[in-house]
Amino acid sequence: MTAPSIIGSSSFSFYVPNQDYLKQCVDFYTACVGFGVHSRKESCVYLVSENGKLSIEVVAKSVDLRAVESLFILQCINLNDLIKNLQLWKKPVQISPNELFPNECFTVDPLGKVIGFTLTGNPLSTVPKVAKLTPLDHLSTSSTMSHSISNTNLAGTAGLTAGKRRNVAVMTSGGDAPGMNANVRAIIRAAIYRGCKAFAIMEGYEGLVKGGPEYIRELNWEDVRGYLSDGGTNIGTARCMEFRERPGRLQACKNLIEAGIDALIVCGGDGSLTGADVFRAEWPSLIQELRDTNRIDEEQYNSYKHLNICGTVGSIDNDMATTDATIGAYSSLARICQAIDYIDATANSHSRAFVIEVMGRHCGWLALMAGIATAADYILIPEKPASSKDWKEQMCKIVSDHRGRGKRKSIVIVAEGAITNDLEPISCEAVKDVLVSELGLDTRVTTLGHVQRGGTAVAFDRILATLQGVEAVEAVLECTPDTPSPLIAIDENKIVRKSLVDAVRITKSVATAIEAKEFDKAMSLRDSEFIEHLSNFMAMNSADHNEPVLPVEKRKKIAIINVGAPAGGMNSAVYAMATYCMSQGHTPYAIHNGFSGLARHESVRSIDWLEIEGWNSIGGSEIGTNRNTPEETDIGMIAYYFEKYKFDGLILVGGFEAFASLNELEKARMSYPAFRIPMVLVPATISNNVPGTEYSLGADTCLNALTEYCDVIKQSASATRERAFVIEVQGGNSGYIATFASLTTGAQASYVPEEGIELSQLELDIRALKESFASEKGLAKAGKLILKSSNASKTLTSQVLADIINEEADGKFDTKTAIPGHVQQGGLPSPIDRTRAARLAIRAVQFIEEHTDTIAPYKYSSDFPFDDKTISATAAVLGIKSSHIKFSSIRYLYDFETELGRRMPKKIHWARVRDIADNLVGRTRLTRTQ
């Protein structure tokens, strides 16, 4: 057999700890792999390939094995013969893509080093260069790789050539936040998948300064099992005064070098990330000092001249500039909203007022978003203070106005950093005293405290933390010594890299501006979304009480209708639309029970302020909904009622049926002048299948419900130890929910309608499941989940899949089905759906205000310009696309971006998320050609 060659290199060296290992390694590489001995010395053996083009040096030397490479890729002439040889030597073998047509295989040498063999000449290719793919003759079933590497999907490392690889470390610092564990899991597994060694630095900067194996630990694939559903941070966090001084940073530098780490990812707040950037800036001088004082040798100095650092933001306050959300913020907001929802019930029962303190020392984001999500009467935040007199008068006026209109309860939310414009703190007790003395209300104070940090992460934080963790690994691997330290951020719906230095600088300048009483400047330094939310809250809070903003001649009659299946956030959207309309002076009308209700029962009602009080936190659809479109009902009768009530605009809230309805109304403008008004769709469906947007209201509520359901099912499977569950997921022809639920729950596989279920893929997944159970025997948290979209296959139902898996399991484990059904629609809408509903709803009303004058001149024109793009743009879908909120013409979307037969957009925006979800559980997904 011809000895293989290392891809991208002509030589390779590695170390063994003693002479016994030296002999074992030489025997393995000569007798099994096919190398010859070129020369021997007492503690060194040179091995060469048959053609002399490759040499491997095996050296017996005592070194820190954490800094030694553990994987290299060899090009092989005859992979089949090699695999048979490895089996004869009783070596563990992992084959990719399958045993029938092997393209790559991986094994472990006597030192425990992972070695890859491939037929390809280019490590980035899957096309064999040196031989054709031929079926592999009989393979014994005992060739499964050992537990330590069986699930790492080592095929993913084939893109790495021999030579120096990054050793990537992750640490969490500052206050803990839900989702940090998901971030750590993603970083560890993404690093391993990319062929790197992965380390966790325990106890934050304290562990970095103390160093040693106790604090700087190499983690393998299985070490982060179960992290997704754990709250807090399992690798610990601690304050460290030593790191703030240069001697502490010097020791940290030495500890990283000794561990062989040259890339560090820090998950924390602005203080933690500031420390990380200072560390990187000082690194050249620190390593120079270590060399000059002989604490490291010349080889170490040359190998670790540069440290790549990347930041992911873990902070419940959401106070980091340049990113829309930080890891943990929405989980904390969920705890707050849940608590206020509970308090709301008792407040209503006793007609009480409650003052609720939430976290936010320098940032009022939690208080603001909780105020919107729960329709609180008043909020106090540090960014917008008033004088000691003004805030009391404003609060008392709003609360008394609400009480005067029949509201039985009052909720005031106070950020812990709330101040007056004289920088005097505003305490909850002070707020309570004002409500008691000025309004005579029975008032209670509730301080939520560290409850806001606790609990498992919501679906959004798991997704954000995971995607940011994967991107952080990509960033540190791509960074050069000249690249500024990146911060992984999210902009609307897109993961992006920002400057860490700029983000920290802007964040700190907000607190500085507040301390200098420059409140307008502090507000301007917050992102535009924060300012928009504050403006929206103030507008909705003054609805139907203050004088309307617009003059009488600009006030409109705006109809609101729900179309399609119920989705979390529908009521929140209706509430926001109605209250904003009232504050502007418009008259909001609710069309009850969809287009069928309008055509058959004239179900039009103007919306009363007190009637919709509390709708923000109610699931379903209070005005009713159904799936019938105008043409399926009676479009002529619908036009008649539109004309009768003289609607000036229409807002639809719903899914694909609402999308189709808007298209029908836009096309009917030629025949029915009543439809020549601005019309806009706010997408709301758990399937998230509306063209023109990457996010629909209800999807987050659904994911939260499904994630919680899967956590419970996985707990049951883990308790039984040897059990898997096939869970059937809704979503129609869209695999969005199944894909993201797979990411949030760590499911072993997910099957979606866009791909169907290939029998070869199913066979591969079952084999991986069997290997996984075999290697994890006795381990905790070993339950397995498989997610199947209901429309992924009509033949292979969830029960059939479970039966097939049970048949193939040979009694070594069993498989059950679980069908959550309409539980996936969720109960109470999530805070994300509530707050996004408010934002999108108000944008929709503003769209009608802005486009009324555009189409009004053509209302009764006999020469209606149907093909005019400006006119067609007045019927639009409001969506989130990448990093933007935008309106898209329904005609363009319907004609060019919609796959009508499948009720789906043509472009699947979440395809890469499927790859990430599979990679992080070690799943190999076959392509059609494979």
Distance between CA atoms of residues 128 and 586, nearest Å? 68
485 labeled binding residue:
no
Is 360 part of any known ligand binding site? yes
Sort strands 486-491 and 308-313 into parallel, antiparallel or unpaired.
parallel
903 is annotated as contributing to ligand binding = yes
Q: How far is residue 452's CA from residue 759's CA, in Å, rounded to a whole number? A: 46
Tally the residues of the chain: 930
User: For residue 789, what are its two tokens?
Assistant: 């979209």
| Angle of helix 911-919 versus helix 736-745 axis, rounded to 10 | 30
Q: What is the residue type of 558? A: I
User: Per DSSP, which regions of 353-472 are E strands?
Assistant: 353-358, 378-380, 410-415, 443-447
- CA 180 – CA 170 distance, rounded (Å): 11
Contact between 789 and 738 under an 8 Å Cβ cutoff? The reply is yes
- Is 451 annotated as ligand-binding? yes
Q: Is 732 annotated as a binding residue?
A: yes
Pairing of strands 884-889, 875-881: antiparallel
Residue 731 among known ligand-binding residues: yes
CA distance linking residue 302 with residue 307, whole number of Å:
12
270 annotated as a binding-site residue: yes
Residue 315 among known ligand-binding residues: yes
Tell me: is residue 248 an annotated ligand-binding position: no
Is there a binding annotation on residue 138? no
User: Is 825 annotated among the ligand-binding residues?
Assistant: yes
Residues 694, 700, 706, 711, Cα dihedral to 10°: 110
Q: Is 314 annotated as a binding residue?
A: no
Bond prior to 97 in cis (omega within 30° of 0): yes
**Is 723 marked as a binding-site residue?**
yes
Cβ-contact 236, 280 below 8 angstroms: no
723/772 Cα distance (integer angstroms): 12
Distance between CA atoms of residues 474 and 456, nearest Å: 27
Residue 689, annotated ligand binder?
yes
DSSP 314: B
Q: Report whether 317 belongs to an annotated binding site.
A: yes
Q: Which two tokens stand for residue 511?
A: 């607190």
Burial bucket for residue 29 (CB in 10 Å: 0-12, 13-18, 19+): buried
Does 468 show up as a binding residue in the annotation?
no
Assigned token pair, 348: 């209503």
Residue 268 token pair? 């924390």
260 is in an annotated binding site: no
Euclidean distance between CA atoms 645 and 557, whole angstroms:
8
CA atoms 6, 7, 11, 15: torsion sign:
negative
Cβ neighbours for 267, distance < 8 A, ≥ 6 positions apart:
170, 171, 172, 173, 180, 183, 184, 233, 311, 312, 313, 314, 327
304 close to 507: Cβ distance less than 8 angstroms = no
Q: Do 74 and 118 touch, CB atoms closer than 8 A?
A: yes
- The reply to whether 891 sits in an annotated binding site is no
For 169-207, letters b (16+ CB in 10 Å) and e give bbbbbbbbbbbbbbbbbbbbbbbbbbbbbbbbbbbbbbb
The question of whether 482 is a catalytic residue gets the answer no
Nearest Cα neighbor of 776 from 122, 169, 148, 1 is 148
Confirm or deny that 853 is annotated as ligand binding: no
Report whether 271 belongs to an annotated binding site: yes
Query: Is 528 known to sit in a ligand binding site?
Result: no
Would you say 730 is a known binding-site residue?
A: yes
On whether 359 is known to bind a ligand per the annotation, the reply is yes
Burial of 496 (0-12, 13-18, 19+ CB in 10 A): middle
Q: Largest Cα–Cα distance in the chain? A: 100
Residue 834 known to bind ligand: no
Say if residue 822 carries a ligand binding annotation. yes
Out of 109, 230, 277, 317, the active site residue is: 317
Within 13 Å and on the Cβ side, how many CA atoms surround 303? 20
806 is in an annotated binding site: no
272 is in an annotated binding site: yes
CA dist 664 → 595, 638, 669, 844 (Å):
12, 12, 9, 19
Strand order in the sheet with 494-499: 216-218, 197-201, 167-172, 263-268, 308-313, 486-491, 494-499
Backbone φ and ψ for 921, nearest 5 degrees, come out as -115, 5
Beta strands in 160-272, from DSSP E residues, in sequence order: 167-172, 197-201, 216-218, 263-268
Annotated binding site for beta-D-fructose 2,6-bisphosphate: 627, 685-689, 723, 730-732, 816, 822-825, 903
Annotated binding site: 175, 239-240, 269-272, 315-317, 352, 359-361, 416, 444, 450-453, 627, 685-689, 723, 730-732, 816, 822-825, 903
Annotated binding site for Mg(2+): 270
> Which residues are known catalytic residues?
317
Annotated binding site for substrate: 315-317, 352, 359-361, 416, 444, 450-453
Annotated binding site for ATP: 175, 239-240, 269-272
